[in-house]
Amino acid sequence: MDPDRVFKEAIYEQIARVGRAVAHPRRLELLDLLCQAPMSVETLAQKSAMSIGSASQHLQHLKEAQLVRVEPRGPARIYHLHDAAACDLFRSLRGLAERYYADVKAVTETFLHDREALEPLDTRTLQQRMDDEDLVLLDVRPPDEFAAAHWPGAWSLPLEELVERLEELPRDRTVVAYCRGPYCVLALHAVEVLQQHGFQTIRLAEGVADWRAQGLPVSQGQDLA
């Protein structure tokens, strides 16, 4: 065979390894979750509504493609993205789907129909409003994701604790709820709860991975409540 052709086929086969690894919706969901924080297979399975066996199999495909790596931590095995490029890959695929496939918009509009009284904010609009308004940024993700990275100054209040802790929120300020990104439903449900209890509230569509990609700073740790 022509040496040039051998070289080309070998190179494109290696590139195709990445494509095959992410050619499954559940693996993309796992990548999206790992963009938030390192997690055990048990945590990933719980958050993605998969069995531990299924999550393990999908993670193995991502590991073989070197998109994720495993770090032993005592008896647990913690999965990490191999590096930030794996999250960039997920965001690129998400962006291409949004750009090329009308079904993305149709599915989203069907799900959100009559569920939000206000359009969600993007990051740029949030920054502009923060210059003029005293907003409360509410991170409604689980505590492990908040500790890994969050908007500087955000309050951590996981969705499952929201109703019991409403008295902690000021009623004279607009509450901006956010979670993992544009297709995360945690912030959407938080907005519904807050509106039902009389709060002025809105959802921030973007999440940690989007802010990092824009070069914005994020904070770490559990020092905020």
Catalytically annotated residues: 179
- On whether the CB atoms of residues 55 and 90 are closer than 8 A, the answer is no
- On whether the CB atoms of residues 144 and 161 are closer than 8 A, the answer is no
Opening angle at CA 131, ends 129 and 135, nearest 5: 60
Q: How many residues appear in the chain?
A: 225
**Residue reference for tokens 């299924």:** 54
Amino acid at 169: L
CA distance 215 to 223: 23
Q: How far is CA 163 from CA 2, 46, 56, 146, 193, in A?
A: 68, 22, 34, 19, 7
Surface-to-core class of residue 213, CB atoms within 10 Å of its CB (0-12 exposed, 13-18 middle, 19+ buried): middle
CA distance 39 to 59: 11
